[in-house]
Chain A
């Protein structure tokens, strides 16, 4: 457990440093397109993925960098993808919202809200059929929970007891809209009752709790016990995307949420328990900074993709 918490801490720090640099690079117009950052939500991806086997599957969202990093996607190739470069994990064809690394079971970020939920159920179906003991994690949000696809996916997975864990990252805003405005039953775990499965609530800013809760859901899924709906309450430090004017929430609310920083919270616990000291903590941050700087240089110096790739990938 202690070693796991340190691993989770390193992952969270890597996500934080990566995303903060991505924000700077985007504002400096180094990155094409637009980006949705995972800042403030790091405990969920890091905690859940720490409970997975390397061959387990995840599906992700438009806010997918954190999931990709937690599943082990190489930072050089992830950064190069955000730059749209040939060395990117998707050869610069997918971009921020479509980052995928199938060799790691990372079945894709997705620009369509909750679309990964159906794909995760299919991966779970496949794992069950092949008796591979793999589990599929479906990350989605409080916005995604109102899509019809999540209903179809949960019902199907529950009916067949598929090895899928549905992780709802409830950051309280579906893009700009607060959950209370669109969702009468704000206690999202109550949805689980309708599918005859367990719904479990966890503090999504408490990495140790996320790890413990998701571990038991994952173990149950692996053992044939079927899916779980896990609702992890958290908060998005930044806007829906970088550049969002954030008129829908107050500065005070954001500042208050930043006071519940999941990394600071984990570090306080690790320091308190003597699992971490200031030197190791500083080293972890410095190492992540060096890794992200190297990823940026790699991406900057990489070539653009060859236009011939487009015809090759159309497959007619």
Chain B
């Protein structure tokens, strides 16, 4: 398959274009999407597919999601754009009480095949209402699938799979990697939801990350290698469904695990992963599972304070050294 080097945003646009050409049931709803969306990730769709399929919505988050639910129940495959993930808070009833539950509450009469796209994470002092990461909120709700790609190729393949999926999928696009570029296969392909990828094989410690933290973890792996620490990096890609098999296989080998995400550590998705690993592999762990995440604070506007809250490579390296150090103390 030939590849092109394109941005994360362009890769999602490729996936949208192909899905919309293949299946006229696919429609897109969101604020400003006819103009390309907040990050240009919908650019050109209205020209190709027209305003009936690329629907500029009022700034009414609840109806963006509710109309998508209604359309999904009646034969369409809507993709709803929430711009910033904080905006989903204006549609939480529609996401949690409707999209996630209607299949269940109806006794399985219907599926709700919709995708909710939202940008999350910090970027250049976007401040407290445009910087957060809410994947744990969504992953907590039965009936929602949650996807958080880390690179352009995955973004394209996972979005294709999300659109094809029969259930509601929350597709989270980190702002810092939205403009990052990478090789992306041309043409149609999908990456199954629930399949993690081992980005770097290693023997000493397993780093578990997704979205932007994969990039920071890759940098951490390189730095750790210089001091002789051979880290394995697992990119979850989707949080729900969760590929526990790949995680367990890696941790069985390395006996150490560090979970990394940009969201808050407290009550974060990393806590679930740490608990799953601890319950399954307690006897094989040589140290407690460590978590890297944001400190318990809202995201400040001040650039140095933002940096102080949000983890990057340095925090990952520190956590790995701590985990390996705590092993040496106990052996």
Chain B residues with CB under 8 Å of A91's CB are 107-108
| Contact status B108-A312, CB under 8 Å | yes
Q: Is the CB of B70 within 8 A of A100?
A: no
Per-position contact with B for A120-131: 1 when CB-CB < 8 Å, else 0? 111111110110
**Which of A151-159, A211-219, A284-292 interfaces with chain B?**
A151-159
Contact of B70 among A101, A123, A159 (CB under 8 A): A123
Binds A, one of B91-99, B149-157, B245-253: B91-99
User: Is B270 in the interface zone, CB < 8 Å from A?
Assistant: no
Q: Which single member of B62, B73, B75 contacts A107 (CB below 8 Å)?
A: B73
Q: Which of B60, B73, B167 contacts A152 (CB 8 A)?
A: B60
Chain B proximity of A89: nearest CB distance (Å): 7
**Cα A309 to Cα B97 with chains together (Å):** 20
Residue of B nearest to A107 (CB): B73
Number of chain A interface residues as a range: 35 or more
Q: Helix, strand, loop or mixed for chain A's interface?
A: helix
Contact residues, A176-225 vs B (CB, 8 A): none
In the assembled complex, which residues on chain B have CB atoms less than 8 Å from the CB atom of A264?
Answer: none
**Are B109 and A102 within 8 A (Cβ)?**
yes
Within 8 Å CB of A93, what residues of B? 104-108
Q: How far is the CA of A159 from the CA of B104 in the complex (A)?
A: 32
Q: When the two chains form the complex, which single residue of A122, A156, A315 contacts B69, counting CB atoms closer than 8 Å? A: A122
Let me know if A88 is at the binding interface, CB within 8 A.
yes
- Inter-subunit contact B66/A127 (CB<8 Å): no
Complex CA gap A265/B238 in Å reads 59
Contact flag A115-B75 (CB < 8 Å), given A94-B107, A312-B108: no
Residue of B nearest to A119 (CB): B70
B106 touches A115 (CB 8 A): no
Interface string of B39-63 (1 = CB under 8 A from A): 0000000000000110101101011
Q: Which of B55, B67, B142 is in CB contact (< 8 Å) with A314?
A: B142
Q: How many residues of B contact A (CB 8 A)?
A: 42
Q: In the complex, which of the residues A94, A101, A149, A312 contacts B105, with contact meaning CB atoms closer than 8 Å?
A: A94
**A252 interface hit (Cβ, 8 Å):** no
**Does any Cβ of A come within 8 Å of B223's Cβ?**
no
Complex alpha-carbon distance, A149 and B97, angstroms: 13
A94–B94 Cα gap in the complex (Å)?
17
Task: Name A164's closest neighbour in chain B (CB-CB).
Answer: B70
Q: Distance (Å) between the CB of A268 and the closest chain B CB? A: 39
Q: Would you give the 0/1 interface string for A72-94, flagging 1 where the beta carbon is closer than 8 Å to chain B?
A: 00000000000000001111111
B104 touches A115 (CB 8 A): no
Q: Is A118 an interface residue (CB 8 A)?
A: yes
The answer to whether B105 and A156 have CB atoms under 8 Å apart is no
In the bound complex, what is the Cα–Cα distance between A155 and B145 (angstroms)? 30
**Bound CA–CA A160/B108 (angstroms):** 31
Check if A313 sits within 8 Å of B93, measured CB to CB.
no
Q: Tell me whether B105 and A122 are in contact (CB under 8 A).
A: no
Cross-chain pairs A/B with CB under 8 angstroms, 14 sampled:
A59-B70, A91-B108, A93-B106, A100-B106, A100-B110, A108-B105, A112-B98, A118-B94, A121-B67, A122-B68, A152-B62, A155-B58, A156-B63, A315-B167
Given contacts A136-B70, A315-B166, 18 further A-B contacts (CB under 8 A): A88-B107, A93-B108, A107-B73, A110-B98, A112-B93, A121-B63, A121-B66, A121-B70, A122-B68, A122-B73, A122-B78, A123-B73, A126-B71, A149-B62, A149-B94, A152-B62, A313-B103, A316-B145
Identify the 8 closest CB pairs spanning chains A and B, nearest first.
A122-B70, A118-B66, A91-B107, A90-B107, A152-B63, A152-B60, A122-B67, A119-B70
